[in-house]
Structure 1
Amino acid sequence: MFTILPIKGFIDQIDGFYCDGIHAGLKPNGNNDLGFIYTKEACNVQAIFTENRFQAAPLKHFQNYEKNFQTNFVLINSKNANALTGKKGIQDIDTLFSSLDFDLINPIMSSTGVIGNPLPLEKLINGAKSFDLNAKNGEELSKAIMTTDAYPKTCMYEVKLEDGSSFKIGAVAKGAGMINPNLATMLCFICTDAKVSSQDMKEALEVNSDSTFNAISVDGDTSTNDTVMLLANGKSNAYDKDAFFEALRLVMHDMAMLMVADGEGAKKVAAFEVINALSDEDAQIAAKALSNSLLVKTALFGEDPNFGRIASTIGASKIASDEEKLVISYNDVIVYNKGELCFTPEVEEKAGKVLQNDKYKITCDIGLGEGKFTAYGCDLGYKYVEINADYRT
């Protein structure tokens, strides 16, 4: 048995973790743009990355280390992705780290921002040299990694085990646009003092990614830098596999929901629940098609319960389906029932009221089996176009 309790605070509350964020001159508005996570002891580290074929230099640099390596330092910058920068992008990371007079063990870099520009090395080196590695300022770190985010994204949990021991796990993340199933334009750093093996960390990340970060969509795009990184220093000497897997799932789900809710001007978050599909795979295909559909997203923005867009998207996904078995509902309001046109003015009004909420569920019962999957998406409106039209400026 175990108990998982949400707690307030940032990752600096976890024993042995230090962090901070500063302005190093990358963002012209003076906001934080460079941060770090540090531990005096080496941490086990595992990560999952974007499926974009053009992975950024920081991802390649990470993967140049030996399998199951340990680290004690992560440097994170915003405003510059260091992507599509060739071999020099990787060399710049090595140059940066070799310029720092810190006791670093296999240092890691993570970047987010504009693709195709070389790293501003002088600014990064000068900024990093000013770090106080004894700082515990998770709030400033959370601001440093933001790009188009409207707000910082963090969460924390304490896990109490049956033998009286406990560990903490928490995360800091950024992500608001270019978010598509198969990670997102996101960086997420999860820290824990659990005494967890590198193998269990790898397994837990992979098991929990499908229902969290790989189940959200803002705009159907996948970037070059997407990263979910898990760091464990073992300082608590506490561990239980079931408890750890569940706590990590909660952290990843919290971060994923914060990202989709912050979808560059988004006002609505919808859970697209597909049930009774012929297989789980079919359910996943249909749910992700719904969360990605621009027509569906704009209908959500207009608070229009246009079930035709829902049905059309399911049909276009090419999963096994039959309009005589399909049932579509907005929360508990059924708008289409096995070929029966039940979309009366009264039903439309009720469904429209559901869409006026900030969060709701759209359920599609395929009626052919027992497969199920839930994907998460948001509306798409004018603000998204405005942000992305002006992104480089």
Structure 2
Amino acid sequence: MFTILPIQGYIDQIDGFFCDGIHAGLKPNGNNDLGFIYTNEPCNVAAIFTENRFQAAPLKHFLSHKEEFKTNFVLINSKNANALTGKKGVEDINTLFSSLDFKEKLVNPLMSSTGVIGNRLPLEKLIAGANSFDLSAKSGENLSKAIMTTDAYPKTSLYEVKLEDGKSFKIGAVAKGAGMINPNLATMLCFICTDAAVPYSDMKEALNINKETTFNAISVDGDTSTNDTVMVLANGKSKAYDKDAFIEALRVVMHEMAMLMVADGEGAKKVAAFEVRNAATKEDAIKAAKALSNSLLVKTALFGEDPNFGRIASTIGASQIACDDEKLVISYNDIVVFDKGEICFDKETEEKASKVLKQNSYKIICDIGLGNCSFVAYGCDLGYKYVEINADYRS
């Protein structure tokens, strides 16, 4: 048995982790744009990345290391993605690290970037900024702000996991993500830190187990970026570990970060869980749920608070899964609007369903009626603010 308890603070409260964020001159508004995570002792590190075929330079740099390498430093910048920069992009990362005054303290340093695609890194600003770091700093708040792009707010979490043997470990995360989010990771960076004594193989396994129901189950706009990264760093300082407890704690952290991203979907006001039940196969359940979370017609209906079940049914049919309108049941929370070929959408029912859509979060349930497989995907509404933000993104 184990207990997972939320606690106050940032990742700097985890034993052995240091972090900070500063303004290095990348953001013209003076906000933080460069941060770091540092540990005295090298960490086991595992990561999953975007499925976009054009992976950014920081991802290529990470993947150039042999599997099961360790690191003690991650440098993170916003405003510039260092993507589609070719070999020069990776060379710039190596040049940056070789120019740091504290390079002798670093073990396999890593970099992560987010921002505009198609520009080389401003090395002079980054080198000067990084050389001003105090590696003993503990400011998770500054770091959380440094990695933001179009985010309306920082995204952090922290938990303590108490084990049956009396030992405990902490796990927490800092993340960014609000737009270009699609169910194949998302335009997001997420750094999860823990003092659990977790082996690399278990960490990688836990990441892959949990990604499908968290970061791979969310959608803001159906786009997948070049830099998407989920990275787990484990320094083992607590000397505590239980595999089942770690897998569940990691799921809790990943799910919380994913939900924060959907809720912050560049102007989003609504978060919807699209639960597909009783599909013929697991693949069908996933396909239909993700189609609903991705549909622009569905998203704009959510924005307009319009419980148009026709858009829901049409999207399910267009997803090409096995389905039959005489077996399909559609509900907004517990309000049934379509029941196995029967339209329940009278004036009273529509008013009840409309009240559901006026809430900040709710569930749209689609019972396919052909099997026993289920999946939940998460999405948000899409409105005028999204267009405004992305029309001005480079400015």
Question: C-alpha separation between the residues in 2 aligned to 1:368 and 1:12?
Answer: 49
Which residue is equivalent to 2:93?
93
With normalisation by structure 1, the TM-score equals: 1.00
CA distance in 1, matches of 2:160, 2:343: 50
Deviation at 1:342, TM superposition (A): 1.1
Cα deviation, residue 173, structure 1: 0.1
Q: Between the two proteins, what is the percent identity of the paired residues?
A: 82
Counterpart for residue 147 of structure 2: 145
Give runs of aligned pairs for residues 1-393 of structure 1, distance below 5 A.
1-102=1-102, 103-393=105-395
1:205-233, CA deviations, whole angstroms, 9 ceiling, x for partnerless residues? 00000000000000000000000000000
Report the CA distance between 1:341 and its aligned residue.
1.2
Distance (Å, rounded) in 1 between the aligned partners of 2:278 and 2:266 = 33
Cα deviation digits, residues 145-172 of structure 1 (max 9, x gap)? 0000000000011000011000000000
Alpha-carbon offset, residue 101 of structure 1: 2.2
Q: What SS does the aligned partner of 2:126 have? A: helix
Gaps of 5+ in 2: none
Q: Distance between the aligned counterparts of 1:82 and 1:352, measured in 2?
A: 44
Deviation of 1:280 after TM superposition, in Å, equals 1.0
Counterparts of 1:341 and 1:218, CA distance in 2: 29
* 1-structure distance, mates of 2:184, 2:69: 25
Structure 1 gaps of 5+ residues are none
Deviation at 1:333, TM superposition (A): 0.1
1:104 is displaced (CA, Å) by 0.4
The alpha carbon displacement at 1:247 in A equals 0.2
Aligned-pair CA distance for 1:8: 1.1
Whole-Å Cα distance in 2 between the matches of residues 96 and 343 of structure 1?
61
1:122 aligned partner, one-letter code: E
- Partners of 2:201 and 2:100 lie apart in 1 by 31
Q: CA deviation at 1:338?
A: 0.2
Alpha-carbon distance between aligned partners in 2 of 1:326 and 1:162, rounded to the nearest angstrom: 45
Q: Residue deviations 1:283-340, cap 9 Å, x none?
A: 0000000000000000000000000000000000000000000000000000000000
CA distance in 1, matches of 2:9, 2:320: 45
Question: Partners of 1:7 and 1:366 in 2: how far apart?
Answer: 40
Aligned length: 393
Residues 34-89 of structure 1: CA deviation (Å, up to 9, x unaligned): 00000000000000000000000000000001111000000000000000000000
Instruction: Measure how far apart 1:237 and its partner are.
Output: 0.1
Q: Secondary structure at the match of 1:122?
A: helix
- CA-CA distance at 1:347 after TM superposition: 0.2
Q: Deviations over 1:225-278 (max 9, x none)?
A: 000000000000000000000000000000000000000000000000000000
Tell me, in whole angstroms, the C-alpha distance in 2 between the residues paired with 1:67 and 1:78: 27
Aligned partner of residue 73 in structure 1, secondary structure: strand
Structure 1: distance between partners of 2:262 and 2:37: 25
Q: Residue deviations 1:189-215, cap 9 Å, x none?
A: 000000000000000000000000000
The amino acid of 2:48's aligned partner reads I
Which amino acid is the alignment partner of residue 310 of structure 1? I
- Counterpart Cα distance in 2 of 1:341 and 1:305: 13
How far apart are the structure 2 equivalents of 1:46 and 1:124? 25
